[in-house]
Structure 1
Amino acid sequence: MRIFFAGGSGVVGRHLVPALVAAGHDVVGLARKQDSHDTIAALGAQPVLGDVYDAGSLTELVRAARPEAVMHQLTDLGGGDRTANARVRTLGTRNLVDAAQAAGVQRVVAQSISWAYEPGTDPAAENAPLDLDGGPDRRGTVEGVASLESAVAELPEWVVLRYGTLYGPGTWYTRGGLMAQLAEAGKLPANADVSSWLHVEDAASAAVQALSWPSGPVNICDDDPAAGSDWVPAFCAAIGAPEPEQSRTERTGWARGADNTKARKELGWTPSRLSWREGFAEERA
């Protein structure tokens, strides 16, 4: 399959591009800058220089690539700026979907998140509504997710991958990453909030398989949702950070984790790390 890839030099892309090439796909990767261009080339794809915010140029690039599918793994989290990330989910996705439609592309696979669901007691399945009535500090993120997912669903065939919290090489949750720095400073709370986790390599494996999945959203996370009181001490121990103090605050309603039953039982995807426990342990090596 010929694939136009947006986000190929990112955290997931650095694992996903080689996996797609190894699976026999022909990948054209969008690069905003020369260093990204060089990275995409080194990963085995054909790089093209362009900007997802330049709608006209992007449309011409997608048309010229003549892809059968678009792979959307764009994020903008390098500096920890959630506003910039919301912008790429809204405007960046809008431009990418419009370009795909103009080029007659039938299928898109797009990255989303699994912690945008409304509050609840159990890990959320895909039919749970998004938390569009959340507080101001959360609303921008969820609205960005909703905009992305709505735009992607305009194509005839679409899969939204609602990733768990990513960890592993290049993510915030690895040695030297943003959350590791907070842990080392004693600022990562060991509280009751529940997270679902996903190793970055497993994100890539799901995206490859999603090229043949039926349309719809899919939670992509491991089998072990966990409260911060459980995973934060393990993360700190793995990276050599001080043991955190346990918080007595109650769980935030939306911090409920996600249910991966659809991916596991209906679609046949299995994470290589069944739990963050084994994944975090790799940091000790």
Structure 2
Amino acid sequence: MRIFVAGAAGAIGRLMVPALVRAGHDVVGMTRSPGHVDTIRQLGAQPVVADVFDREQLETEVLKARPDCVIHQLTSLGNRDFAANSRIRIEGTRNLVDAALKAGTRKMIAQSIAWAYEPGPSPATEEVPLDLDAPLPRQGTIQGVAALEEEVSRMPEPVILRYGKFYGPGTWFEQNEWMAEQVRLGQIPAQDGITSFVHVEDAARAAVLALDWPPGTVNIVDDEPASSREWLPVYADLLGAPAPTYEPGSARGERGALNTKARLHYGWQPIYPSWRSGFAESLK
């Protein structure tokens, strides 16, 4: 297949692009930064520089590529700019879908999240509605996710991957990144809310496998949803950080998600089925 990867130099893209190339696909890797061109070329893809907010430029590159599939892995989270990330989900996704449709592309695989479900007592399946009635500030995130999924659903063959919280190389959970620093400073309390994680290697593998998946929405999370009372002390200990304090309570929608559909129906088997082994491996 000829595949256009938007966000080829990101944490997922850097792992996914070589896997696509090894599988025999012809990959065009898009980045908005000229500084990432050599990286994308070294990953085995043909690099293109384009801004997802520049409709004309984006359309030109997608039309030139004429891809069989577009993989949307665009985010803007390096500086924790959540407003910029919502803009990518809303405006950027619309532009990317418009360009893909104009190029005659049928399939799009897109990155969504598995913590946008409405509140409930147990981990969510894909059938649970998004939390569209959430109050601010969560409402901004939900609106961005809902817009992304609605836009991608205009494609003839949309596959929406609802990823758990990323950890591993290139994420906030690395040794010297934001989460690790906050934990070392004792700024993150252990609470009761449930999180589902996914290692970036497993996230990338899911996107590659999704080339053969039917249209629909799929949770890509590990096997062990857990409260931060469980995972945060383990993470802190691996960092050599102080044990976190405990504060009762949880944020809205912190219920985790189930990967039954991906595992049993689509054959996705995570390399890191639990954050326990994943954290230990990532923080060695």
Instruction: Give the TM-score taking structure 1 as reference length.
Output: 0.98
Residue by residue over 1:36-58, the C-alpha shift from the partner in whole angstroms, topping out at 9 and shown as x without a partner, is: 21211111100011111000111
Q: CA deviation at 1:241?
A: 1.4
Name the aligned partner's letter for residue 74 of structure 1.
L
Q: CA deviation at 1:99?
A: 0.1
- Cα distance in 2, alignment partners of residues 284 and 91 from structure 1: 36
Name the aligned partner's letter for residue 104 of structure 2.
G
Name the aligned partner's letter for residue 258 of structure 1.
A
Instruction: Give the TM-score taking structure 2 as reference length.
Output: 0.98
Identify the residue that residue 172 of structure 1 maps to in structure 2: 172
Q: CA deviation at 1:253?
A: 4.0
- Cα distance in 2, alignment partners of residues 278 and 31 from structure 1: 32
SS of match in other structure, 1:264:
helix
Identify the residue that residue 128 of structure 1 maps to in structure 2: 128
Alignment of 1:48-127 (within 5 A): 48-127=48-127
SS of match in other structure, 1:4:
strand
SS of match in other structure, 2:137:
helix
Identify the residue that residue 261 of structure 1 maps to in structure 2: 260
Q: CA deviation at 1:188?
A: 1.2
SS of match in other structure, 1:145:
helix
Identify the residue that residue 221 of structure 1 maps to in structure 2: 221
Identify the residue that residue 160 of structure 1 maps to in structure 2: 160
Q: Contact 1:111/1:163 (CA < 8 Å) preserved in 2?
A: yes
Please say if 1:15 is aligned against 2:15: yes
Q: Contact 2:175/2:283 (CA < 8 Å) preserved in 1?
A: no
- Cα distance in 1, alignment partners of residues 184 and 231 from structure 2: 15
SS of match in other structure, 2:188:
coil
SS of match in other structure, 2:212:
coil
Q: CA deviation at 1:32?
A: 1.2
SS of match in other structure, 2:14:
helix
SS of match in other structure, 2:234:
helix
CA RMSD of aligned residues (A): 0.9
Runs of 4+ in 1 over 4 A off after TM superposition: none
Identify the residue that residue 277 of structure 1 maps to in structure 2: 276
- Cα distance in 1, alignment partners of residues 218 and 148 from structure 2: 14
- Cα distance in 1, alignment partners of residues 216 and 54 from structure 2: 28
Q: Contact 1:121/1:253 (CA < 8 Å) preserved in 2?
A: no
SS of match in other structure, 2:115:
coil
Q: CA deviation at 1:270?
A: 0.7
Q: Contact 2:4/2:62 (CA < 8 Å) preserved in 1?
A: yes
Q: Contact 2:108/2:159 (CA < 8 Å) preserved in 1?
A: yes
Q: CA deviation at 1:237?
A: 0.9
- Cα distance in 1, alignment partners of residues 53 and 148 from structure 2: 14
- Cα distance in 2, alignment partners of residues 189 and 90 from structure 1: 32
- Cα distance in 2, alignment partners of residues 273 and 221 from structure 1: 10
SS of match in other structure, 1:136:
coil
- Cα distance in 2, alignment partners of residues 14 and 42 from structure 1: 10
Residue by residue over 1:173-231, the C-alpha shift from the partner in whole angstroms, topping out at 9 and shown as x without a partner, is: 12111111110110112100100010000000000000110101100000000001000
Q: Contact 2:175/2:239 (CA < 8 Å) preserved in 1?
A: yes
SS of match in other structure, 2:237:
helix
Identify the residue that residue 32 of structure 1 maps to in structure 2: 32
Identify the residue that residue 185 of structure 1 maps to in structure 2: 185
Residue by residue over 1:221-259, the C-alpha shift from the partner in whole angstroms, topping out at 9 and shown as x without a partner, is: 000000010000011111221111122x22334100001
